[in-house]
Amino acid sequence: MELYNGRPEHTEGRLEKELRVYDLLDSLGVSYARVDHEAAMTMDACEEIDRTLSDGVEEGVSICKNLLLCNRQETDFYLLLIPGDKPFKTKYLSAQIGSARLSFAKAEYMEAYLDITPGSLSVMGLMNDHEGRVRLLIDEDVLKPAYFACHPCINTSSLRFATKDLTDKVIPAMDHEPTIVKL
């Protein structure tokens, strides 16, 4: 597995939603590293990818789980970024955001609001949420390492860029004010 700087040289065979991520990062002046790989559907499958993204980075890389949640009525949706090794307990989150009965949102909502399929969920999908249907929740521990990693709206590539760029450039450009939570 090889780490590349920036967008792929050749874009044939790449999905438009992936290319839009590179366009956004490039337009914001965000430097990023990329690794291409087989489809990664689980956190376990991401271990080798994580090692590649972390190679040579002493300050640490935040590899997180991305969960799309909703309330029981399926009217409020939340994208939660949480460290990959941290257990998720809905009761702790529910109390912090004032929404009881949280559950995992159906795949059709992920596709309709974020233009992402299961296994590819990423903060980058918020660039496709033009109506602001999804509220961004970030566990405070995700923001501690110097670098952040995510998929570019597909699960056959992964990106690494500065956490400061995530908070100062990427999230503001997607117009989704994050709520920082402690889980």
Q: How far apart are CA 87 and CA 16, in angstroms?
A: 33
Contact 125, 116 (CB under 8 A): yes
Mean pLDDT within 26-41: 91
**pLDDT one-digit tens code per residue, 122-151:** 999 999 999 999 999 999 999 999 999 999
Listed in sequence order, the residues at least 6 apart from 106 whose beta carbon sits closer than 8 Å to its beta carbon are 74
Token match 């700087």: residue? 5
Contact 41, 164 (CB under 8 A): no
Coil, helix or strand at residue 4: strand
Coil, helix or strand at residue 174: helix
- The alpha carbon of 108 is separated from its chain's Cα centroid by a whole number of angstroms, namely 18
Q: How far apart are CA 39 and CA 164, in angstroms?
A: 27
**pLDDT one-digit tens code per residue, 36-83:** 998 876 666 677 788 888 877 777 787 788 999 999 999 999 999 999
Q: How far apart are CA 78 and CA 73, in angstroms?
A: 13
Q: How far apart are CA 97 and CA 182, in angstroms?
A: 11
Mean pLDDT within 15-42: 92
168 pLDDT band, cuts 50/70/90, is very high
Contact 59, 145 (CB under 8 A): yes
Token match 């929740």: residue? 137
103 pLDDT band, cuts 50/70/90, is very high
> Residues 142-169, buried b or exposed e (16+ Cβ, 10 A)?
bbebebbbbbbbbbbbbbbbbbebbeeb
